[in-house]
Amino acid sequence: MIPVVSAPTERAVNLADVARLAGVSPATASRALGGHPHVAAATRERVLRIADELSYVVSPDASRLAGGRTGRVAALVPHLSRWYFAALVDGLAGALRAAGLDLLLHPVGDADDRVEYFRRLPARRAVDAIVTVAFPVDDAERERLEGLDVTVVAVGGQVGSHPFVTIDDEAAGRQAVDHLIHLGHSRIAMIETLDPEQRGDQPAGRRLAYERALADAGHPLDPDLDCTVEWGGEEGADAMARLLGLRHPPTAVYAHSDEVALGAVRTLRRAGLRIPADVSVIGIDDDPLAALTDLTTVHQPVREQGTLAGHMVATALSGSDPGPGIVLPTRLVVRGSTAPPRGLR
Amino acid sequence: MIPVVSAPTERAVNLADVARLAGVSPATASRALGGHPHVAAATRERVLRIADELSYVVSPDASRLAGGRTGRVAALVPHLSRWYFAALVDGLAGALRAAGLDLLLHPVGDADDRVEYFRRLPARRAVDAIVTVAFPVDDAERERLEGLDVTVVAVGGQVGSHPFVTIDDEAAGRQAVDHLIHLGHSRIAMIETLDPEQRGDQPAGRRLAYERALADAGHPLDPDLDCTVEWGGEEGADAMARLLGLRHPPTAVYAHSDEVALGAVRTLRRAGLRIPADVSVIGIDDDPLAALTDLTTVHQPVREQGTLAGHMVATALSGSDPGPGIVLPTRLVVRGSTAPPRGLR
């Protein structure tokens, strides 16, 4: 379980505190404090009032380049062409640009890239900070990064005790699985994904959510319903086909991500099954294509995570404390792919 | 019409020539010449034989950093969180990394970013090359870029007479509209998109394709069927709703991109119409979600365009001629969203 930033007690007030008390996202709080457009006047006033009450001060240095440094920040990105990674980087790039910092893209998509990257790392010293973009590093790699003596920030995950912005994967998974359980499903399959190019030290929050939600509801865990595949829509489609071949197929499917869920949807449609009348499907992410395909999912604020990570980098480079980390909330988005199982309607 | 690279007559042989004669994509040719894995042995041998016959020499400098330069390349990217842009950048980043070059991401998504970017451009001089990623620059902006005296390469479009990698948008559009015409449709709507943040100097190839294909088939152009909206799935959905409100709705829809097409699909489904039985829909791009949603579309090689642009940059920085440009072919991918109109079945 990822620690959630709580009340500002023993430490300096940070942006997350202001946002939480103002009842807005940290991204909105940041925009309000920064005087950006597209923030409602009432919201801006509330954020400024809270910031004032908490004596929160935007560091004057946080928005410009600290002197004597390179002005460059490297982002380690495994899979830029997937929406989630691209949206994280998009938010990050915008925030860094606003702070006068340039973003270097360091692709580390496959195992070879990764080994090569860390081998050559000392030569990469010409940056002020490194941001790991949903990229789990192992202890040896973390020590390599730390040996560079630059700021390290993690987005979409955590790296040691470095500042981070992420979501609580287990909480997101619980929102998804609990929704299916509340609808009356008990035979719920999980299509979990693993990235074969990455080490196995990824947070298993989405899997834990499945196991715990079923246990809490008193439903048995059926190993036949627990699929683990590589990430991707085609892989989700194959997993769904395997599930349909079971003697007792599931009445609902919980997929690791929206793209995997859409693969499952394609298989169901090809089999002539109706969604959600015959089978319910839920994803996680709220990728823009989820809205287009009427997929029920759990929304996570992706671009905002990147933006906040950029703010943290700028804050740290200005010599201020970016705070320990931010866990942004997720929320269930009910669309047309989930409904009670047939017997209950 | 974009000039297609033709036979190597008066100029040095380049990668595109080798690829064309070997009957493979330039990306495959590059991988074969570079000794990368994932190239079939027979393909590698054919590419090497052709390269040998043409006396094509991979510049030894093309794969490492030219001395005395920054080793950095900037990519101007308008909309990184859209698959097309992200996949272009992903390919570009991989090729640059292989050449020992770092990629700086310069987001220029909205009009303000753009103005600010070109205002500050002289301060951006610390790069060896600038790649415009599907980013149409106007003449004044082009002159600013050229004033930096760095290599300029365009991907997903063209900039003046600088080297480029792109597709032929009109040819891609013809593949889509001609498919609908061949199926027997004559009442074909177009959902064209414009990016309000970009100037109006984008190539109108996809629109021209529509007008010319209908004219060639002898079908009248009905202004009611010609929708222009902002880019996006929701915008495609709205446009489709408008088309359904017509006295004589279309029997087929040609959308500017897959995401726009999927918005139209959602509206049709919500209206209780069957695809393709009642209405056919075709997109352009072959975004991975097109396969997942069984959408007929026109495939364009996106990541490959980025990879080739990266090779061109490396070639130019090594002092060799990257050639005038490459136009990669597109192809129709028939899936489940197109069929003959009802009367013809």
pLDDT tens digits, A39-87: 777 887 787 777 666 655 444 333 333 344 789 999 999 999 999 999 9
**Residue B98 vs residues A130, B64, B95: alpha-carbon distances, Å:** 20, 8, 5
Q: Which of A246, A277, A245, A276 is nearest to A261 (CA)?
A: A276
pLDDT tens digits, B243-275: 999 999 999 999 999 999 999 999 999 999 999
Q: Residue B98 corresponds to which tokens in the numbers above?
A: 């292989």
DSSP class of B186: -
Q: Which helix (H) or strand (E) holds B258?
A: helix B258-270
Q: Which amino acid is at B210?
A: Y
Residues of chain A contacting residue B307, judged by C-beta atoms under 8 Å apart = none
Residues of chain A contacting residue B85, judged by C-beta atoms under 8 Å apart = 86
Does position A121 have pLDDT exceeding 80, yes or no? no
Q: Nearest chain B residue to A104 by CA: give it.
A: B104
Query: Which residue in this structure is represented by tokens 């997942």?
Result: B292
Residues of chain B contacting residue A233, judged by C-beta atoms under 8 Å apart = 288-289, 291-292
Q: Residue B40 corresponds to which tokens in the numbers above?
A: 């079939």
Q: Yes or no: say if B323 and B11 are a contact pair by the CB < 8 Å rule.
A: yes
CATH numbers and ranges of domains, chain B? 8-56 (1.10.260.40), 168-299+331-344 (3.40.50.2300)
Does position B329 have pLDDT exceeding 70, yes or no? yes
Write the CB contacts of B256 (distance below 8 Å, at least 6 apart in sequence): B190, B191, B192, B193, B206, B231, B283, B284
In whole angstroms, give the CA distance from residue B251 to residue A201.
Answer: 51
Map residue A130 onto helix, strand or coil. Answer: strand
Q: Which of B31, B88, B105 to mutate to test the interface with A (most CBs of A within 10 A)?
A: B105
Residues of chain A contacting residue B269, judged by C-beta atoms under 8 Å apart = 294
Instruction: Tell whether B98 lies on the interface with A, counting CB pairs under 8 A.
Output: no
Omega before residue B276 within 30° of 0, cis: yes
pLDDT tens digits, B56-86: 544 433 333 334 478 999 999 999 999 999 9
Give the predicted TM-score (pTM) of the model. 0.79
In whole angstroms, give the CA distance from residue B216 to residue A82.
Answer: 39
pLDDT tens digits, A171-194: 999 999 999 999 999 999 999 998
Cross-chain residue pair B104–A104, CB shorter than 8 Å? yes
DSSP class of B124: G
As a dihedral over the C-alpha atoms of residue B1, residue B115, residue B233, residue B82, rounded to 10 degrees, the angle is 80
Omega before residue A276 within 30° of 0, cis: yes
Instruction: Tell whether A95 lies on the interface with B, counting CB pairs under 8 A.
Output: no
Residues of chain B contacting residue A263, judged by C-beta atoms under 8 Å apart = 292
Instruction: Tell whether A94 lies on the interface with B, counting CB pairs under 8 A.
Output: yes
Q: Which of B64, B289, B302 to mutate to test the interface with A (most CBs of A within 10 A)?
A: B289
In whole angstroms, give the CA distance from residue A274 to residue A149.
Answer: 56
The bridge status of strand B151-155 relative to strand B164-167 is parallel
Q: Which of B270, B292, B304 to mutate to test the interface with A (most CBs of A within 10 A)?
A: B292
Nearest-CA distance from B291 to chain A in Å? 9
Q: Which helix (H) or strand (E) holds A289?
A: helix A288-292
Its sign, for the CA torsion A108, A313, A63, B80, is positive
Count Cβ atoms below 10 Å from residue B175 Cβ, excluding itself.
22
Whole-complex ipTM: 0.78
